[in-house]
Every structure is written in structure tokens, then in C-alpha cells.
Structure 1
Amino acid sequence: MTMTTPPGWYPDPGAPGVERWWDGTAWTGHTRAQGEQAYGPSRPVTPSQPVTVVAGPPTPRRRGPLVAAAAAAVVLVAAVVGGVAVLGKGDAGTPKAAGSTTGITATDVTNSPAPKASSQPSSDPHTLVDQLNGITLPIPDGWEKTDDMVGGLVTMQTKDTYNCPGDFGFCPHGRVTTTTATSTDLKTAEAIAKHDIGDAANATYDRDPAGSRLYGGITSHREVGAGPVVVNGRTGYLVRWEVRTGAGPGGYVESLAFPSTVGSEAMIIARFAFDAGPAGPPLALMDTITRGITPIGGGQNGGVGSSLAPPSL
């Protein structure tokens, strides 16, 4: 039944234990504790127009500043006492207010780990992933992924290290890195590999990026192999040097250049550096790693030169 609600104090649904004054037309900013008589207007306000309601007191259209402040104080005290403020997110990722019944709880925050992309191949301890160039390399037994803090290269090396024979530090017995060729003048894999081999040798056995001479510097070198090779289904080119150093056993360095199968098909450079002597990895492992280079997701490209094999060195 439709009726006009007379002015008076009514329970405020938005603030338990609080009454708000209804002036016959709208809710006012006057509030009082439930049952209290001394707070609020001294007399009712004469209604100016009827209000249509369905059974029960009217629902407040707004909350007065005093009630809003009181409610905020209650939430603040509860947060301080409990030590946790819970913020949830809706299905679309929109933040919800603290205390929302559809938000996450403190237990959810504590026990639910951050989501991880299960499809990321980089989680495989046997695979080195170069996301930029779209390739993966097999990580041999006894090797591991490492961080190149200076050059930011994709890197793996032998787990076993030893005291560097030159300047202070720890040296691995073998190391492999991949990067994108940056030269704009050199267009072929052969030209890039021949140009890079000197830098590859110097970076490992002469001076490191910090300027240390971990092996006492390179005293001499000789080319022990060069030729075309299929990498990831594309024809590439490699150059391999044997280097002698001022301290330690010296080693073998290889620059391998080949085109990527993704994006603009820019040239990729893989650098190999293996110590010489019985402690160094076998040279055949360079070819094994080369044959294992594949596109991210697996499979072979099967492009030009797929009938070639790594040259005998």
C-alpha cells in the first residue's frame, strides 16, 4: 500500500546502531545513536511533498558526513587491530573496496602464489631459451644457465669452475652465448662470423668486460676450421680458432652466424669458448649443441642448406 512516511528518526541501514532524521521528503545530515533523544532537530520538519514507499522505513539516498566519518573510523580501527587490509579484484580486474564480500581474503593472499605461465620453455633446466631470436639450445649435462650481468647475453656454462689462472676470479671450463648481430654493413653469415671471431676470442681469453685478464691475455691464435653449417634449418657459417694464453691451458673459440627464422630474420651469433686440455669440454660438443638449436616450440625449419652438416674440424 502506498503511503506518505511521516518525519521522524529511523534506523540508518548504512550505519548499524545509528538513526537518521527523515524530514518527510529526504534524509537529512542529522544522526543520533539509536534510542537517544537529545541529538537532532527539536521538532519535526513539516513535509513539503509526499514520498512513496513500500513497507518499512525508507532507504537512505545518501549518507551524512558524520555517519560516513564514523564508518570510516570503524574500518580504520578494524584494519589497525587486525593488521591486514584486504583488497580484492573483480572478474575484470577492477579493484574492489576493502571488505567487499566478493574480494579475495587474507587467506587467499597468503596461500595463493603468483600465477606463472606454464607454457614458458625457460623453466626447463635442460633448455636455454633466446626469446628475442626465437631459438632454444640444449643444455648439456654438467652445464647450467647463467646471468650475463654486463652484456645481457643469453648464456650457459659448465657448472664446475676453477680459480682463473690470471687475474682474480672464477672461470668456467666452457661457455656459450647467443646474441643478435648488430652490424649493418655485413650481410652474409660468412662475413659476420669472420668479423666476430676476434671479438669472441678477446672477450673470453684476453680481457673480460670489466678489463680483467683472467687468462693473462691471448699470446697467439690459429684458425682450425671454417665453413658453412646448417643451423635451425638455415645455412649459417662458423669460424673456429685455437688460442694460446699467457696463463692457463688456452682454449678454442668459435663464432657461429646464422639467420633467424622469426621477425626480420636478422643474423644470430652463437659464441663458443671451451678450455683446452683434459679439463675442457670435448670439441665435438660444439657440434652437438649446434645440431640441437631449434625454433622455440620445437621442430626444424627445413630451409635452404638442410642437407649440409657441420664441417669436419
Structure 2
Amino acid sequence: MAQHFLLSAASRTLSIRQIYKAGEKTAYDTFCKMRWPETDGEAICPRCGCCETYSITTRRKFKCKGCHHQFSVTSGTIFASRKMDFVDLLAAICIIVNASKGVSMIQLSRDLDCQYKTAFVLAHKLREAMAQEVHTGEVLDGHVEIDGAYFGGHIRPENRKENRKDRRLKAHQTGKRRVVIVMRERKGRALPFVAKVEAEGVDLAKEHVCRTATMSADEASHWDLLHMGWQVDRVNHSLSYSDHGKHTNMAESYFSRLRRMVDGQHHHVSPQYLYQYANHAAWLEDKRRVSNGGLAMTLAANAMGAPVSANWKGYWQRAA
């Protein structure tokens, strides 16, 4: 029997020990190379694009010789205004990519010896960097599976049976329940979206699935509209999960990872931020055969190429 990739030595090319043993200088150089790969880490002015810069070593900043603008390696990126050491940022990236089904923020804050809210915002910034890659080139082709799964909105029943209400009725629901709709190419990438009802997936498919593609869906009646635009294989999950090659197992594999992430690690996810976790799971699922070192360097490069986060920069300083 072949060995699973995650059990092989090829999946382990980076460790926390290596990061801290290499030290702050090596971590800083790594971020410089991720920010400016075309010059192998030599600074380029983000304001005028001039390559003529010199380093202010006492403050780890650069100054442009053309426009005299001062900037750092994280200026204008998702890590703008960061206070953590670069070795800690690289360690945080390593910890997050090592967790194949996510990591709780309590655990991350303990590993990094930082406050819970620091770990919380840092992880969400990294999820934004993942999302930029997940939602790049959004038209799917080939054979695409589509499915939905509901998350959140649990209502705890009353203790006494006579006091219990029918939780299926809209009047007795919290309004926080959301559905994650995923469209996933077979042997390709996953593209998730968060909606209120699964039927919204039909309009999402019209926008993000190529008309020359073929599709697979389950027996839910709202997927009947897909037959107007694509050749669609249907599988009745009440009878079986696969019927002579017709299945949505790739989509179910994604939901398996996401549900274990939400239920097993985070325990509760606000509907406001469910899309972040959905993108996180899709990024991990798409790169499940990449080593942890490759994942860490890819995520670091995505973060250094992402703009300042409008949602998370100064999150804890805002007036409620």
C-alpha cells in the first residue's frame, strides 16, 4: 500500500526549530525576497518604483534616492504597522500551514507568546492572503462538482420536552445559519462562496463556471436549473454517494475539511467571518500535496504581495 503524502518525509521541509535556529536576520531576508523577488530582495520604492535605494540599518527601513520616500519591507502590505519580530511572523505562518484542519487562536497565541487578539487578527490577515490566490482566475473548466453545506445557527433545545419549539420553523431560528457553496474541479481547485440559501449556487455557477464544462450535483431540486446551461450528472445521496462514476466526492472532501476546522478547532465561527474559513479550507485542500515548506513560502509571498487589509488593519482600535 502506498504511503500517504502527509506521512512522507517529502511533506516535511520546514520546522519551527529551523526558523528560530536561523534567527531574526534570516527571517528578515526571507521577507525581503518575498516582497521583491525580481531583485532577489533588493528594495524597490513602492511610491515611484525606483531601484536606487539605501538602507537605514538602525531602523530597518529604506530610503528612495529618487523621491526620498522612507519605507520598510512590510509597508503597503498586509503586515503593515506590524510589531512582531520577523522570526515570529514566519513561525506563525509555519504553524498555520502545518495545521491541515486549522489551529485555534488560543493555541496560536500560546505558541507565539502573544495576546489572543494579536493571534486572531494575524490569522485573519493570512486568510485574506490565501483568499487572493483562491479567487484568482475564477472561471472553472473541465468537470466541476457543485454542492452546499450549512454551518452555524444552532439553537439549543429547551430542557423540558413540553417547552421545546420546532426549530425547523423560520420564527424559531436565529438567522445566523449560512451555507457554504463550493464549486470544485476534479483534480483541480475549489472555489467557495457563502450564501443564505443553497439555491444561490445556480447564479454563482453561471458566473464562475465555463459553458464548455460539465458538472455534477446532488438530487436537490434547485440544481435542476443547471441543466439549462450544462451537461449535469446527478447523484441521489439518499441511495448512494456514487453511481457509476457520478458523484460529488471532491466537494464532500472539501466540506469534510471545513467542518472539522469549524467544529473541531474553532468550535464557533461567526457568519460574518465564515467566508474567511471557507477560503482557508479551499487553499489547504488545493495544496494538499505541497510540502509544509512550500506552503509557508507561498503564503509568505501572498501576504507580501497583498495590499493593506481594509478589514483588519487597526481592527482592535476601532470604536465599537
Taking structure 1 as the reference length, what is the TM-score of the superposition? 0.26
Greater share of residues in strand:
1
Higher relative contact order at CA 8 Å, sep ≥6: structure 1 or structure 2? 2
- Structure having the higher helix fraction is 2
